[in-house]
Structure 1
Amino acid sequence: MQELHQMFPRLRSYIFYLLALYVLGWGFTSYQSVFLGLILGTVLSLYSLWVLVRRSKQFGQAVEEGRRPRSVGTFARFASAALAVIIAMRYPTEFHIVSVVLGLMTSYLVIIIDLVVQNLRKRWEER
């Protein structure tokens, strides 16, 4: 399996494509609050993924150098999720809360889909 920091540029581009679709949905449909919730959740999901990649790289370097590793940023990721929910609850007419939560899960769904696609591609090339 590829390491997360090697996968990150590809995952980031997929998430940016999803964000572009969400912006189009926000601009051209009557479901502005749903798409705005997806945008908020996905942006904070991308931030959480970035924190995870950065901290896991630092964690690996610390282990290689024999130092005591720091955490992988769990608190920062939880705080960003809490911030998204607080914003959605503060402005319920602007942000759809279920969409915010779905947006927060976007990076994990993108990782899973990417891993499945990469494994299928690898099997196809081995034939």
Structure 2
Amino acid sequence: MNEDLLFNEAPGGPPRYSHLSNKPVQYLTVADRRGQVIGYVWANDEDDAAGWAVRKAGGDNAFNEGSVWAIKLHDAKARGIAPTAALAEMIQESDPTRSSHVVPGSLTEAPNADVIRRLANPT
């Protein structure tokens, strides 16, 4: 009962982008139908990294609608698409009549992924 538990990661599972990047990232602002920002999708090709940062201030609505953007990232990685190409697809396929969409003209660069996480959820 006093021994440390050892966890070994099992091989397999779906491919995923890394959630870490200390290099510059590109990001998109995502809003709901009413125009309220629900989060940000970010990407960096050099680190093969991308992620979804939900705005906790958006509550359950932001969390639920934001899951679509995380799924889009998972699907893009499974198809072998570079992270920033996934962002380009999201811009191209965005539809403001859906429950959430990319804010037009929102493609921006930030110094790293942590900046995006702080943007989504300032302390």
TM-score w.r.t. the length of structure 2 is 0.28
Larger radius of gyration: 1
The structure with more strand, counted as a fraction of residues: 2
